């Protein structure tokens, strides 16, 4: 590796591919303390708490594959902790990777190229030894282990903090840009729905493997374009855990907590010790609902209305009742045409819906397909309820229409971004056309009158002579 | 003067045609699919979106036509008056 003391290179390789990541020194943020509750390696019930110091940084891939990477560098307190955490992170990464295996595409290079439903993570040992994930991917720091062992404390860059290499673990994953969700959508953003299919299938797949992400929320969902299409991807898999048997502690974000889990926690502070797999699946599905609703109704609506207090019973959230969600959605989209969509979106928040949320079988794909059916029912006969637009104008404005589509499709953008680009382009084209037409009619009428006056004046002059 | 006329035209187009987002959002995902594929795919719902966009542009053209014609009449009458006075003066 290391031409310079501060360089750190990670080598990832699999069948017929290799990525070489040059890790950048982190910024000036101090290391963050992160605790993991890890099942003991030798079996048994009690979780083992492992405290780590985590440094966040980035890396650039010098070979083919995804160019920008996110790197977390964990420093453990003891060799035993490092070994247990390594095994835990590997099991977590393996399960998450398997959730991507159903995605289409022959000869895919999943660890370094999309499509993904869940962003893949690779674990790298700080001591330079080879690490294998699911027998298919090997990871290693770009220095032979004997060199690292020989120069134990001097070979890792100084910015890691002088830790012993065998106490250090790295987790590397493709870096995907965060998605700026719109704050409010006064018309349902249904153009997002198609791109959620991949994510819904990935969540179902993860649950079939008896794992749960546990922290699905709008900021943990990014959008990713690739040569075969585009889709939403889950990131930040730190909280992912085996759901069956369930853990006895849970990490996640309180704001996006599933109703059943919230009730368990509020009834009894120790209640989370009695988690069930169904509650963990429901937590993921509830998170997925908040993400889909952020896309359709807006992020602000989700954070402040859906997850805000119910006006009829401020001790509860709107999200704790299907009826309250239905009312809130109908108030947000007052046009009655959206009623079927609002009903489909609200259903999982009610008692029947919650039974389905906690069921062990797949749920997300079926639910999303139901939402898309409901959206089609909203579209049936509308906006075509009014008279059919004048088709002859399509020929008149053919070049302008082409320009609007070209403008919207130029450059990489999510489908919703393209739609907004198109709205803007339509507004600009309308102004241009109006100006062109105004200039034409101003010339025709103005010159016509002047010419007529000239002819009349000339005629009067001739007659007068 | 020209810039105030441009502002008036811009304002009339915005007021007369409405916000494109409000006009086309009801088409939902069909609008995005029309952008991706165009109306050439033969889907009647895409053709409807395309016709609706053309109609929006058509209504902007009408707004321009009305304001242009009115401005033309005013300028034409003024020009005609100057022409008549000029011919009068020559005679």
* Domain chopping of chain B, boundaries: 2-90
Domain span at residue A203 reads: 176-388
- In this predicted model, which residue has the larger pLDDT, A315 or A46? A315
CA separation, residue A196 to residues A358, A390, A420 (Å): 21, 34, 19
Is residue A134 located within the same domain as residue A256?
Answer: no
- Of A118, A147, A175, which marks where a domain is finished? A175
Is residue A313 located within the same domain as residue A206?
Answer: yes
pLDDT at A414 over 70: yes
pLDDT of residue A412: 61
Q: Searching chain B, which residue's CA lies closest to the CA of residue A449? A: B76
Is residue A37 located within the same domain as residue A159?
Answer: yes
Tell me which chain A residues have a C-beta less than 8 angstroms from the C-beta of B54.
Answer: 389-391, 393-394, 396-397, 401
In angstroms, rounded to a whole number, what is the distance separating the alpha carbons of residues A185 and A179? 15
**Residue B2 distance to chain A (closest CA, Å):** 12
Mean pLDDT for all residues in chain A: 85
Q: Cβ of A446 and B51 within 8 Å?
A: no
Dihedral sign for Cα atoms in the order A417, A418, A421, A427: negative
* Mean pLDDT comparison of A110-114, A421-425, B45-49, highest-scoring range: A421-425
In angstroms, rounded to a whole number, what is the distance separating the alpha carbons of residues A86 and A262? 31
Per the structure block, which two tokens stand in for A203?
């969540």
Q: What is the pLDDT of residues A336-376, one digit of tens each?
A: 889 999 999 999 999 988 899 999 999 999 999 999 999 88
Tell me which chain A residues have a C-beta less than 8 angstroms from the C-beta of B43.
Answer: none
pLDDT at A395 over 80: yes
Q: Cβ of A461 and B83 within 8 Å?
A: no
Q: How many CB atoms lie within 10 A of CB A180?
A: 9
Q: How far is CA A418 from the centre of its chain?
A: 17
Is residue A333 located within the same domain as residue A401?
Answer: no
The mean per-residue pLDDT over the stretch A282-304 comes to: 96
Tell me which chain B residues have a C-beta less than 8 angstroms from the C-beta of A442.
Answer: 68-69, 71-72, 75
> Is A97 in contact with A134 (CB distance < 8 Å)?
yes
pLDDT of residue A1: 41
Is residue A247 located within the same domain as residue A138?
Answer: no
pLDDT at B74 over 90: yes
Interface test with A, best of B2, B48, B61 (most A CBs within 10 A): B61
Q: Searching chain B, which residue's CA lies closest to the CA of residue A433? A: B61
pLDDT at A232 over 60: yes
In angstroms, rounded to a whole number, what is the distance separating the alpha carbons of residues A400 and A394? 9
**Residue B64 distance to chain A (closest CA, Å):** 4
Q: Cβ of A422 and B9 within 8 Å?
A: no
pLDDT at A68 over 90: yes
- Please tell me the least confidently modeled range out of A145-154, A215-224, A363-372, B68-77: A145-154
Burial of A328 (0-12, 13-18, 19+ CB in 10 A): buried
Is residue A368 located within the same domain as residue A403?
Answer: no
* DSSP symbol at A234: E
Q: Do strands A32-38 and A221-226 pair parallel, antiparallel, or not at all (unpaired)?
A: unpaired
Q: What does the buried/exposed string (b/e) look like for A291-316 if buried means 16 or more CB atoms within 10 Å of the residue's CB? A: bbbbbbbbbebbbebbbeebeeeeee
Candidate from B39, B69, B80 with C-beta closest to A441: B69
In angstroms, rounded to a whole number, what is the distance separating the alpha carbons of residues A264 and A261? 5
Is residue A406 located within the same domain as residue A264?
Answer: no
In angstroms, rounded to a whole number, what is the distance separating the alpha carbons of residues B9 and B69? 12
Q: Cβ of A430 and B20 within 8 Å?
A: yes
Is residue A170 located within the same domain as residue A182?
Answer: no
Question: Angle, nearest 10°, between helix axes A322-332 and A339-346?
Answer: 150
Question: Angle, nearest 10°, between helix axes B2-17 and B44-90?
Answer: 150
Q: How far is CA A121 from the centre of its chain?
A: 16
pTM equals 0.78
- Of A325, A356, A388, which marks where a domain is finished? A388
**Residue B5 distance to chain A (closest CA, Å):** 10
Per the structure block, which two tokens stand in for A281?
């699946």
CA-based nearest residue to B39, from B52, B29, B28, B48: B48
The mean per-residue pLDDT over the stretch A429-436 comes to: 95
Say which CATH number the domain at A296 has. Answer: 1.10.510.10
**B37 and chain A: CB distance < 8 Å anywhere?**
no
Neighbouring C-alpha atoms within 13 Å toward the C-beta of A71: 28
In angstroms, rounded to a whole number, what is the distance separating the alpha carbons of residues A441 and B37? 35
Give the phi and the psi of residue A23 in degrees, each rounded to 5.
Answer: -85, 130
CA separation, residue A24 to residues A15, A55, A68 (Å): 27, 12, 11
Tell me which chain A residues have a C-beta less than 8 angstroms from the C-beta of B6.
Answer: 435
Is residue A189 located within the same domain as residue A206?
Answer: yes
Indicate the length of chain A as a whole number: 465
In angstroms, rounded to a whole number, what is the distance separating the alpha carbons of residues A217 and B80? 70
Q: What is the pLDDT of residues A128-183, one digit of tens each?
A: 888 877 656 677 776 555 554 445 444 678 777 778 888 999 999 999 888 888 88
In angstroms, rounded to a whole number, what is the distance separating the alpha carbons of residues B61 and A412? 31
Tell me which chain A residues have a C-beta less than 8 angstroms from the C-beta of B37.
Answer: none
pLDDT band, residue A460 (cuts 50/70/90)? confident
In angstroms, rounded to a whole number, what is the distance separating the alpha carbons of residues A371 and A344? 6
Q: What does the buried/exposed string (b/e) look like for A121-156 if buried means 16 or more CB atoms within 10 Å of the residue's CB? A: bbbbbbbbbebebeeebbbbbbbeeeebeeeeeebb
In angstroms, rounded to a whole number, what is the distance separating the alpha carbons of residues A394 and A396? 6
Is residue A273 located within the same domain as residue A370?
Answer: yes
pLDDT of residue A2: 43
Q: How far is CA A348 from the centre of its chain?
A: 21
- Of A117, A144, A175, which marks where a domain is finished? A175
CA-based nearest residue to A138, from A1, A12, A8, A9: A12
**B43 and chain A: CB distance < 8 Å anywhere?**
no
For chain A, how many structural domains are there in total? 3
**B28 and chain A: CB distance < 8 Å anywhere?**
yes
In angstroms, rounded to a whole number, what is the distance separating the alpha carbons of residues A329 and A285? 19
Q: Cβ of A379 and B27 within 8 Å?
A: yes
CA-based nearest residue to A51, from A93, A92, A80: A80
pLDDT band, residue A70 (cuts 50/70/90)? very high
Is residue A103 located within the same domain as residue A55?
Answer: yes
**Residue A37 distance to chain B (closest CA, Å):** 43
């Amino acid at each position: 590796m290391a031409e310079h003391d501060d360089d750190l290179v990670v080598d990832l390789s699999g069948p017929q591919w290799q990525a070489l990541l040059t890790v950048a020194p982190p910024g000036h943020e101090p290391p963050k303390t992160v605790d993991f509750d890890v099942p003991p390696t030798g079996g048994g019930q009690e979780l083992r708490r492992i405290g780590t110091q985590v440094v966040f940084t980035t890396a650039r891939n010098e070979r083919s594959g995804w160019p920008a990477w996110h790197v977390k560098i964990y420093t453990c307190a003891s060799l035993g902790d490092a070994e247990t955490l390594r095994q835990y992170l590997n099991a977590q990464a393996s399960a998450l990777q398997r959730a991507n295996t159903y995605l289409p595409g022959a000869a895919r290079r999943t660890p370094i190229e999309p499509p993904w439903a869940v962003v893949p993570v690779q674990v790298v040992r700080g001591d330079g030894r080879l690490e294998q994930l699911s027998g298919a991917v090997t990871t290693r720091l770009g220095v032979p282990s004997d060199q690292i062992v020989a120069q134990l404390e001097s070979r890792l860059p100084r910015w890691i903090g002088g830790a012993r290499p065998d106490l250090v673990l790295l987790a590397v994953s493709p870096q995907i840009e965060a998605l700026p969700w719109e704050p409010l959508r006064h018309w349902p953003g249904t153009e997002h729905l198609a791109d959620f299919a991949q994510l819904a299938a990935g969540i179902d797949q993860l649950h079939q493997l008896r794992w749960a992400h546990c922290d699905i929320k709008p900021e943990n969902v990014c959008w990713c374009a690739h040569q075969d299409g585009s889709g939403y991807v889950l990131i930040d898999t730190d909280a992912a855990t085996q759901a069956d048997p369930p853990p006895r502690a849970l990490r996640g974000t309180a704001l996006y907590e599933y109703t059943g889990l919230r009730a368990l926690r509020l009834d009894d502070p120790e209640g989370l010790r009695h988690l069930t797999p169904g509650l963990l699946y429901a937590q993921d599905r509830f998170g997925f609902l908040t993400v889909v609703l952020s896309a359709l109704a807006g992020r602000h609506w989700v954070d402040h209305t859906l997850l805000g207090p119910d006006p009829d019973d401020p001790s509860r959230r709107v999200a704790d009742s299907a009826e309250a969600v239905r009312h809130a959605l109908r108030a947000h989209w007052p046009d009655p045409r959206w009623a079927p969509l609002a009903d489909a979106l609200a259903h999982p928040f009610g008692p029947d819906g919650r039974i389905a949320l906690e069921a062990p079988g797949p749920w997300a794909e079926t639910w999303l397909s139901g939402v898309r059916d409901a959206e089609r029912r909203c579209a049936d006969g509308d906006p075509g309820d009014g008279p059919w637009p004048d088709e002859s104008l399509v020929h008149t404005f053919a070049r302008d229409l082409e320009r609007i589509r070209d403008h919207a499709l130029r450059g990489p953008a999510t489908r919703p971004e393209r739609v907004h680009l198109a709205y803007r382009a339509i507004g600009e084209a309308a102004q241009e056309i109006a100006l062109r037409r105004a200039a034409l009619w101003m010339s025709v009428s103005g010159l016509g009158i002047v010419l007529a006056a000239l002819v009349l004046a000339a005629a009067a002059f001739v007659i007068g002579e | 003067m020209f810039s105030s006329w441009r502002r008036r035209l811009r304002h009339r187009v915005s007021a007369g045609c409405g916000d494109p987002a409000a006009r086309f959002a009801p088409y939902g995902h069909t609008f995005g699919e029309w952008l991706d594929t165009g109306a050439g795919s033969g889907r009647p719902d895409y053709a409807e979106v395309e016709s609706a966009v053309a109609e929006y542009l058509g209504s902007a053209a009408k707004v321009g036509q009305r304001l242009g014609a009115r401005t033309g009449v005013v300028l034409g009458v003024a020009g005609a008056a100057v022409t008549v006075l000029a011919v009068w003066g020559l005679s």
